[in-house]
Amino acid sequence: MKDKLERWLIALFIVGSLAVFVWTIQMRPRILVLHSYGADYSWVRDVNIGLKRVLDQKRSYAVRWHYMDLKRFPWREAKENAGIRSRRVIDEFSPDVIIAVDDDAQEYAAKYYVNHPKIKIVFAGINGDIEPYGYDKASNATGILERKQLTATRDAIRDAGIVHWPEGGAARLLLIGDTSESVKSDMEHLRKFDWKPVTVAETRLAGTFDEWQEIIRSAPGRADVIITTNYRKLTRSAASRELVSPEEVVKWTEGNSKLPVIGTNGFYVEDGGMLAIGTSGYEQGEVAAKLATQIIDKGTSPKLLPVVSTSQFVVFMRPALLKSHNVKLPPLYEAFARANNNYIE
Amino acid sequence: MVEILKGKPLGKLATGLAITTFTGASLLSAIFLSSKSVNFVIYGLLPDQAQAQFQWLFWLYASAATGATLTIAYFVLFSLMQRNGEIHLLNKEQIAAQLHLLGPIRNREWSAVLGMGVFMLAVLTAAIHKIQPPWVAVAILYALLVYGFLDKKEFREKIDWPFLVYLAGIVGLVGTFNSVGLNDLLAANLVRLGSFMRTDFALFVPVLAAVIFVIRLAVPISTTIVVAAAVFMPLAVASGINAWVVGFTILVLGEMWFFPYQCSYYLQFRELMAKSGNYDEAAFLRFNVIMNFAKIGAIYASFPYWKWLGLL
């Protein structure tokens, strides 16, 4: 009798433990962080730092990270395959909130869950408009837009004394990038920006490294400053699918450009460039994570949370190159860059 | 069985039974994650997020087309090569006597059936309860221990601990590869091969088969798979090819063998069968050679399915 009771109690313990286990798992809010690019990309690293500032405080959350890695493999079939795999991860994990970062994650995965009854979408890093993804009419989506900090960039051109306006006339800009969708969206935004008294002389997109080199070589005389957004999709040649490494592109550019080059992303300096006034990845991640926690903890509907835009920027500097280009910035820039460990000596 | 069925020594029935026994145990070894130790090495070589995806059930889902093709190829080939005119009569009394000898199913056997049933059910419903299969397995082991279906002595002696230590070592080796950056080094030095793999995977498969065939002339199956996977899987990751597809292809191709000395478990099988010595080894080996080509065919047949799954 005692033996039988003991057996029943053990069975009760095992089944009860499993039930508690299942219940605990089911009750944990689930967040899927879906990145368009790879974990080793410096932009993604910064966004993750911002996300973790908030999500690390939420011990009860189950957070899963998925990287589509499409900066390294930007081909259409790679994007479609990554989209299929990401949607499967979403279906399997069934998150309460998807934090989708950058445009490919929206285009190939998150937009398929617009107006989903259970899954909410928080987007970040969208360079263009939200309409193509249907978020403007969605009841379950909100997020933060990624906008280049162009006022700060214009001020940096002025502060650097590259062109002393109004005496020296307005500085002429050459905007250059690769042919990726995010760069095209960025360029649209750059063209619409009121740069006065700086003027945009030319906007060029390069598909290959040869085209890039030709644009950089022929820039003097037509422009005074070059602004670059991204260059990770440059192929070795028109016939090749081999991507030229960002470090190689920047090394060549800094070594051959007669004009100072300024990046609109911090990675330009990390890749070997002189100066960058970049969108803050930390801000993108932190704001997106805060929106997600508001949705989960307070039950706020995403449609009641307005879409926000970038308000922060970060400065990246490489003093040796600034010196070689004879660019002198006020000490405040150096102090800001140093405070964020972005002063690369 | 051949004796009971009154089959002829070295006849088609005897050879067919030998083929069925051997193939039944080995044909689908790559299809199930848990069917072979070296599968866990492939699993260990997958990037973290791919490991989260390729759990037991999704591994089976992704390999289903290959498994189905291999099974169909086996049945077609078997019916073509091993059809025979021998009439076999199963004596019901003999079967009843044998069942009587075995006796009723014991509690320990019921516990094994129940454990397997619970595990399979848990794996199939993982999407609902979200418990990872290893935790379910630990719970089942715990139940077997506390109920005394598996006692301490058996736990120590019946579990193949040396094998588990070996497995942990192999999986650890993979982590060491990644930690010291050997995977990146390989990828950086084999850029062209990576590019070839990405642009022409259909041609890469026979090249890989040829490489594995050459290695297999002198190296055992598991070692060949570990070495090939350690080289090609990081390369696949660096080249934008799904690492599981490459790892799985290596598993299937690595299992190919042409000469008996190349397959340790066939040598064991032959040794066991030597006592009765009643199957035609030449016919057995011919069947095996043709099945090797069926394995390559099964990989190609899986391409559309993998494309549909977004893996290729």
Answer yes or no: is pLDDT of B278 > 70. Answer: yes
- Quote the pLDDT of residue A188: 86
| pLDDT at B51 exceeding the cut of 60 | yes
pLDDT for the residue B298: 97
Tokens representing A83 are 């989209």
Asked if B131's CB is within 8 angstroms of A25's CB, the reply is: yes
| A1, part of any domain | no
Residues A112 and A22 in one domain: yes
Instruction: Report chain A's terminal Cα–Cα distance, integer Å.
Output: 79
Confidence (pLDDT) at B190: 82
Q: Is B110 on the interface with A (CB under 8 A)?
A: no
Same domain, A301 and A190: no
Q: Are residues A321 and A215 in the same domain?
A: yes
**Chain B contact for A89 (CB, 8 A cutoff):** yes
Nearest chain A residue (CA) to B125: A92
- Are A184 and A319 members of one domain? yes
- Hey, are the CB atoms on A14 and B139 less than 8 Å from each other? yes
A232 by Cβ neighbours in 10 Å (0-12 / 13-18 / 19+) ranks as buried
Out of A10, A65, A72, the one facing B240 most closely (by C-beta) is A72
pLDDT of residue B125: 84
Residue A81 reports pLDDT greater than 80: yes
Average pLDDT, chain A: 91
Task: Grade residue A326 by pLDDT with cuts at 50, 70 and 90.
Answer: confident
Boundaries of domain holding A96: 15-147+282-309
Residues of A in contact with B242 (CB under 8 A): 81
What confidence score (pLDDT) does residue A207 get? 94
User: What is the distance in angstroms between the Cα of B127 and the nearest Cα belonging to chain A?
Assistant: 6
Asked if residue A266 is part of any domain, the answer here is: yes
Using a CB-CB cut-off of 8 Å, the residues of chain A touching B131 are 18, 21-22, 25
Q: Which helix (H) or strand (E) holds A185?
A: helix A181-192
Given this model, what pLDDT does residue B108 score?
86
pLDDT in tens, B186-244: 777 887 888 888 888 999 999 999 999 999 999 999 889 988 998 898 889 888 889 99
Same domain, A218 and A163: yes
| Residue A207 and residue A305 in one domain | no
Give B86's pLDDT tier (boundaries 50, 70, 90): low
- 3-state per-residue secondary structure call for chain B: CCCCCCCCCCCHHHHHHHHHHHHHHHCCCCCCHHHCHHHHHHHHHCCHHHHHHCCHHHHHHHHHHHHHHHHHHHHHHHHHHCCCCCCCCCCHHHHHHHHHHHCCCCHHHHHHHHHHHHHHHHHHCHHHHCCCHHHHHHHHHHHHHHCCCCCHHHHHHCCCHHHHHHHHHHHHHHHHHHHCCHHHHHHHHCHHHHHHHHHCHHHHHHHHHHHHHHHHCCCCHHHHHHHHHHHHHHHHHHHCCCHHHHHHHHHHHHCCCCCHHHCHHHHHHHHHHHCCCCCCHHHHHHHHHHHHHHHHHHHHHCHHHHHHCCCC
pLDDT band at A2 (very low <50, low <70, confident <90, very high): low
| 3-state secondary structure labels for all residues of B189-217 | HCHHHHHHHHHCHHHHHHHHHHHHHHHHC
Query: Cα–chain-centroid distance for residue A20?
Result: 39
Say whether both A237 and A176 belong to one domain: yes
**Do A87 and A25 share a domain, yes or no?**
yes
Residue appearing with tokens 């899927």: A32
Between B166 and B245, residue with greater pLDDT:
B245
**CB-CB under 8 Å, B52 with A18:** no
Mutation target vs A (from B58, B130, B136; most A CBs, 10 A cutoff) = B130
Do A65 and B146 make contact, defined as CB atoms within 8 angstroms? Answer: no
Flag whether pLDDT at A325 surpasses 70.
yes
Asked whether residue A63 falls in the same domain as residue A198, the answer is no
- Restricting to B residues 12-51, those with a Cβ less than 8 Å away from any Cβ of A are 49
| pLDDT of B29 over the 70 cut | yes
| CB-based contact B139 A18, cutoff 8 Å | yes
Mean pLDDT of A44-56: 96
pLDDT score, position B191: 78
Q: Which residue of A has its CA nearest to B237?
A: A69
CATH of the domain at A94: 3.40.50.2300
From B129, B191, B310, residue closest to A81, measured CB to CB: B310
State whether ipTM is beyond 0.85: no
Q: CB of A109 within 8 A of CB of A86?
A: yes
The mean pLDDT of B267-296, rounded to a whole number, is 89
Closest approach of A36 to chain B, Cα-based (Å): 14
Tell me whether B310 touches chain A (CB under 8 Å): yes
- Chain A residues 24-53 with a CB less than 8 Å from chain B: 25-26
Residue A166 has pLDDT above 60, yes or no: no
Least Cα separation, residue A154 to chain B (angstroms) = 38
Of all residues in chain B, what percent carry a pLDDT higher than 90? 38
| Residue A87 lies inside a defined structural domain of this protein | yes
Are residues A26 and A167 part of one domain?
no
Number of domains chain A is built from = 2
Chain A closest-CA separation from residue B182 CA (Å): 17
Closest partner residue to A66 (CB to CB) among B49, B130, B147 is B49
- Of all residues in chain A, the one with the smallest CA distance to B142 is A14
**Which of B135, B147, B311 faces A10 most closely, judged by CB atoms?**
B147
Question: Closest approach of chain B CAs to the CA of A67, in angstroms?
Answer: 8
Average pLDDT over residues B280-293: 93
Tell me the nearest-neighbour CA distance from A69 into chain B, angstroms. Answer: 9
User: Hey, where are the domains in chain B?
Assistant: 12-308
pTM over 0.90: no
Name which of B170, B178, B17 is nearest B88 in CA terms. B17
Find which of B123, B129, B241, B309 to mutate to test the A interface (most A CBs within 10 Å of its CB).
B129
What confidence score (pLDDT) does residue A311 get? 85
All residues at 6 or more sequence positions from B79 whose CB lies less than 8 Å from its CB, including other chains: none
Whole-number pLDDT of residue B85: 65
A320 lies in a domain? yes
A contacts of B143 (beta carbons < 8 Å): 10, 14
Cβ atoms of residues A125 and A284 within 8 Å = yes
Is the predicted pLDDT of residue A167 greater than 80, yes or no? no
Q: For chain A, say whether B139 makes contact (Cβ under 8 Å).
A: yes
pLDDT at A165 over 60: no
In a domain, A9, yes or no: no
Residue A27 has pLDDT above 90, yes or no: no
> Which residues of chain A make contact with B234, given a CB cutoff of 8 A?
none
B247 has pLDDT over 80: yes
Tell me what the mean pLDDT of segment A86-100 comes to: 95
Rounded to 10 deg, the angle between the B281-301 and B56-81 helix axes is: 130
pLDDT in tens, A290-304: 999 999 999 999 999
Are A143 and A20 within one domain? yes
Q: How far is CA B40 from CA A110, A330, B162, B169, B249, in A?
A: 32, 58, 16, 11, 14
pLDDT of residue A204: 95
B160–chain A nearest CA distance, Å: 26
- Average pLDDT of every residue of chain B: 87
Please state the rounded mean pLDDT for residues B287-308: 95
For residues A206 and A286, membership in a common domain is answered with: no
